[in-house]
Amino acid sequence: MSAENSIEPRPGSEDTVEESAADPVAPPAPARVRPRLHRAAAVAGAVAGVLTLVYVLDLLLTSGDVARGNTVAGVDVGGMSREDAERRLRAVVRPRLGRPVELTAAGTTHSLDPAAAGLKLDWAATLDRAAEQPLNPFARIASFFTTEEIGVVSRAADDGLGAELERLRAEVDREPAEGTVRFEGLEPVPVDPVPGRRLDVAAATDRVLRHWAAGEPVRLPVATLPVRTTPGAVRTVLDQVARPAVAAPVHVRGDGADAVLSPRTIAAALTFVPGADGTLVPEPDHDKIAEAVGPALAPTERAGKDAGFSFKGGEVRVLPSAPGRAVDWDATLAGLPAVLRQQGQREITARYAARPATLTTEQAHALGIREVIGEFTTSGFAADSGVNISVVAEEVDGAVVRPGETFSLNGHTGPRGTEQGYIGAGVIKEGAPARAVGGGISQFATTLYNAAYFAGMRDTEHKEHSYYISRYPEAREATVFQNPDGSSVIDLKFTNDAPTGVVIQTVWTPSDITVRLWGTKRYDVESVTGGRYAYTSPPTRQGPEGYCVPSSGAGGFSTSDTRIIREVSTGEEVRRETRTVVYNPQPRIVCEPPPEPESGADSESEQDAEPESG
């Protein structure tokens, strides 16, 4: 057999292919779906085109008219022409414009007078707003079924509306009140928290401008101010802290003495403050407790002693300071809130802390007190005035004026009355001799002023007498005066502008008073007194009843003083200061009948020129 005859048909041969090709073949799926997609797209495009055409036609047809669904001040003008809408609005809204408008906010009502508030409706702008056509197609479709109040466009002249809303805000606004527990005697009373509220003035202004013409109350926006505490927290602290706190006293054990913190003092001192997560935290007032029980523990404390200065033989020596000891109330009462929750016997232990001196030995040495830098002496006072001068001199002696500090004579002494050791003495009141408690103090003020003058201190405040007193330097003297309650009226103040400190030394004798300022000398000071001019004659005046001392009076005049300050090391002039003073004429006093002479009256007839304390 030949090779040709031995070949047998195989699967996939030409014969097999021919038989397969004879069978019908199904077309692919996309070939059948594609025509349907084309048809759907065509329909959708047609619908979109129609809707677009309708949308455009609707915009064109309604252009210039009021938008569908719009109401203005409660009047339905949607879809109307601008002219028809204006006629309708004017007919309905205009009568309302002169009526009071009721404003409401958080239950508070307020009647607003449109004229007083300066409210005016802008008709053209209102119609412009009403005619604004929405471009959103969904909004245009919704306008067939719904309405929208757009309000009016208004103006408020000046600040009339703002003033009205501020008056309403004063009634509406309320600060938030946290919950707490207060005591009525020894009975704790719960106080629930109350949220605060605040009128939103900016939003309220906009709402009034939009809706005041609607003929209905205008409700204004009010913001709520939250609180942190809760009623539950109030009840918890009431039961767990407040009631046990006043159930029994607390004993304070001191070092050598004890004190008792009574339930009544606890109730007066105990308050509650908001804590975390809406809780209430007990907070004792340490100052109130210290005031109540401090006197019982005072014997266990020790006062500190400030450093001082001793002046002998032209030299100065620092007297050392000593620290004190006092109850540290913050440390002592730190554990009190926990103790107040306890029952039965309750006590705390007093804690002590060092009480440092106000001026320590080291600070005193650092002040640079080395030498006398200014000194002055006056004399010629009566015995009763001398008593007052000695009292004030003792108070001022040793006073320290640190760098940059200002010394005030009235501030340093405080009230100068009989309780402080001062007595009645001669003064001059309205040009006539008189008497007052503290008479003679102005002589000390003049002496102190001159000591500070020659020390080169800054003159911060001083006032000369109204009448010239011959024992004082012209235009270089000072007076002081206090009200009966001790408040300052006329004061003497100087400022230490040196980098070192100043200490005031006073030396009193029955015949004179000397004031020295110690420090580090910087300046040499020269005083140049100007001549007298512009003389005035004394008038005649009837003396006061009850204490009338005749006098011949004295003429008035003007003068001046110039202070020239030079560097002590170089002699170079630093500055010069001129002060002009006008002294009034002292009246000639006549008395009818003449009074009985009083001891010291003659010698004090020129004591002071004001109703001042000396």
CATH number of the domain to which 242 belongs: 3.10.20
81 closest CA partner among 62, 54, 57: 62
140 closest CA partner among 52, 60, 68: 68
The one-letter amino acid code at 220 reads L
* C-beta of residue 185 within 8 angstroms of C-beta of residue 267: yes
Q: What is the DSSP letter of 136?
A: -
- pLDDT recorded at residue 228: 94
Give the tens place of pLDDT for each residue, 70-126.
Answer: 899 889 988 898 899 889 999 999 999 989 999 999 999 999 999 989 999 999 998
- pLDDT recorded at residue 158: 67
Q: With respect to residue 13, please indicate whether it lies within any of the assigned structural domains.
A: no
* C-beta of residue 614 within 8 angstroms of C-beta of residue 448: no
CA 408 to each of CA 137, 234, 449, 466: distance values in angstroms, whole numbers, following the listed order? 82, 51, 11, 21
The residue whose two tokens read 């004792």 is 284
Q: What is the DSSP letter of 221?
A: P
- pLDDT recorded at residue 277: 87
Q: With respect to residue 24, please indicate whether it lies within any of the assigned structural domains.
A: no
Q: Is the same domain home to 389 and 267?
A: no
Query: Whole domain around residue 414: which residue ranges?
Result: 367-590
The one-letter amino acid code at 105 reads A
Q: Is the same domain home to 373 and 476?
A: yes
The domain boundary, picked from 307, 322, 356, lies at 356
112-131: burial string, b at 16+ Cβ within 10 Å, e else? bebeebbbebeeeebbebbb
Cα 530 to Cα 578: distance, rounded to the nearest angstrom? 10
425-462: burial string, b at 16+ Cβ within 10 Å, e else? bbbbbebbbbbbbbbbbbbbbbbbbbbbbbbbbebebb
Q: With respect to residue 45, please indicate whether it lies within any of the assigned structural domains.
A: no
Cα 258 to Cα 293: distance, rounded to the nearest angstrom? 9
493 closest CA partner among 506, 480, 502: 480
Q: Is the same domain home to 456 and 484?
A: yes
Cα 603 to Cα 390: distance, rounded to the nearest angstrom? 18
Q: With respect to residue 542, please indicate whether it lies within any of the assigned structural domains.
A: yes
- pLDDT recorded at residue 67: 81
* C-beta of residue 542 within 8 angstroms of C-beta of residue 590: yes
- pLDDT recorded at residue 273: 94
Q: Is the same domain home to 402 and 376?
A: yes
Q: Is the same domain home to 542 and 451?
A: yes
Helix (H) or strand (E) run with residue 187 in it: strand 187-191
- pLDDT recorded at residue 58: 46
81 closest CA partner among 125, 126, 127: 127
What is the domain count for the chain? 3
Helix (H) or strand (E) run with residue 533 in it: strand 533-536
Q: Write the burial class of residue 96 (CB in 10 Å: 0-12 exposed, 13-18 middle, 19+ buried).
A: middle
Q: Is the same domain home to 427 and 495?
A: yes
Q: How many CA atoms lie within 13 A of 404 on its CB side?
A: 0
Structure tokens at 249: 């006293």
How many residues can be counted in the chain?
Answer: 614
Beta strands in 263-370 (DSSP E): 270-274, 280-284, 308-312, 315-319, 324-327, 347-349, 352-355
The domain boundary, picked from 303, 323, 356, lies at 356
Instruction: Give the number of other Cβ atoms within 10 Å of residue 72's Cβ.
Output: 26
CA 309 to each of CA 175, 395, 520: distance values in angstroms, whole numbers, following the listed order? 56, 15, 15
Q: Is the same domain home to 377 and 469?
A: yes
Cα 555 to Cα 557: distance, rounded to the nearest angstrom? 7
Q: Is the same domain home to 465 and 536?
A: yes
Extract long-range pairs of 302-306: CB within 8 Å, 24+ residues apart.
302/326, 302/355, 303/355, 304/355, 304/356, 304/357, 304/358, 305/357, 306/357, 306/358, 306/359
Q: Is the same domain home to 380 and 505?
A: yes
Hey, is 225 helix, strand or coil?
strand
Phi, psi (rounded to 5 degrees) for 205: -60, -45
Q: Is the same domain home to 263 and 404?
A: no
Instruction: Give the number of other Cβ atoms within 10 Å of residue 485's Cβ.
Output: 7
Q: What is the DSSP letter of 542?
A: E
Q: With respect to residue 161, please indicate whether it lies within any of the assigned structural domains.
A: yes
Q: Is the same domain home to 321 and 275?
A: yes
Q: What is the DSSP letter of 506?
A: E
Q: Write the burial class of residue 314 (CB in 10 Å: 0-12 exposed, 13-18 middle, 19+ buried).
A: exposed
Hey, is 525 helix, strand or coil?
strand
556 closest CA partner among 458, 481, 479, 465: 465
Cα 118 to Cα 123: distance, rounded to the nearest angstrom? 16
Cα 431 to Cα 539: distance, rounded to the nearest angstrom? 10
Helix (H) or strand (E) run with residue 86 in it: helix 82-93
- pLDDT recorded at residue 138: 57
Q: With respect to residue 181, please indicate whether it lies within any of the assigned structural domains.
A: no
Q: For the chain, state the CA radius of gyration.
A: 48
Q: With respect to residue 384, please indicate whether it lies within any of the assigned structural domains.
A: yes
Q: Is the same domain home to 259 and 118?
A: no
Beta partners for residue 7, in sequence order: none
193 closest CA partner among 247, 273, 80, 311: 273
Structure tokens at 310: 């001793």
Question: Which residues have a Cβ under 8 Å from the Cβ of 5 and sit 6 or more positions away?
Answer: none
Ranges of the chain with pLDDT below 70: 1-35, 38, 40-64, 134-145, 158, 430-432, 593-614
Region for residue 278 given its phi and psi (left: phi exceeds 0; alpha: psi -120 to 50; beta: otherwise): left
- pLDDT recorded at residue 56: 52
CA 249 to each of CA 187, 189, 237, 242: distance values in angstroms, whole numbers, following the listed order? 15, 20, 19, 13
CA 250 to each of CA 140, 245, 337, 349, 352: distance values in angstroms, whole numbers, following the listed order? 78, 9, 11, 10, 18
Q: With respect to residue 2, please indicate whether it lies within any of the assigned structural domains.
A: no
